[in-house]
Amino acid sequence: MTTLVNIIGVMAIARSPLVAIDCPDPGALARFYGALLDWEVDVSAERASVCDGDGRCISFHRVADYAPPTWPSQERPQQMHLDMLVDDLDAAEAAAVDLGATRHPDQPDTSFRIFLDPAGHPFCLCLN
């Protein structure tokens, strides 16, 4: 794939971006997403991560006074969220809830479902 950056001869400064999520308990949230995605979990004292083995990772950082978003209210905006593809919404919902997710009461569409992870971050399971 040719990009404008390649055409004009400028090389990227960085690559392989990492999503970092603030939370009160990095290990717990890493274990949740590790089980949800079937990714490897790595936990240290203040940080944790999940990785797929191909370089894609999500990192979780401890924040002492963490306050979860209040989405859809803008009192404390969601700040970020993850969309993950699934083949069967009902089966994926059951598995996510078993892992500790909570289905959000606001469900504006039938092609995806909105959940809150154990730290209160919204995420979506979307039909593939």
Mean pLDDT of 114-124: 93
Integer distance in angstroms from the first to the last C-alpha of the chain? 24
Which of 53-62, 70-79, 104-113 is least confident?
70-79
Mean pLDDT of 34-45: 94
Q: Is the pLDDT of residue 7 over 80?
A: no
Strand (E) or helix (H) holding 82: strand 82-86
> Hey, what are 107's tokens?
């469900």
Q: Is the pLDDT of residue 111 over 50?
A: yes
pTM of the prediction?
0.75
Residue 117's pLDDT is 94
The Cα 35–Cα 54 span in angstroms is 17
Residue 1's pLDDT is 46
The Cα 66–Cα 12 span in angstroms is 34
Query: pLDDT of 75-85, one tens digit each?
Result: 988 777 888 98
The dotted CATH code for 17-127 is: 3.10.180.10
Q: Is the pLDDT of residue 4 over 60?
A: no
Q: How confident is the model at residue 10 (pLDDT cuts 50, 70, 90)?
A: low
Q: How confident is the model at residue 2 (pLDDT cuts 50, 70, 90)?
A: very low
CA distances to 21, 37, 68, 119 from 75, rounded to whole Å, are: 19, 30, 10, 17
DSSP line for 21-67 = EEES-HHHHHHHHHHHHT-EEEE-SSEEEEE-SSS-EEEEEE-TT--
Mean pLDDT of 44-73: 90
Q: Is the pLDDT of residue 6 over 60?
A: no
The Cα 99–Cα 36 span in angstroms is 7
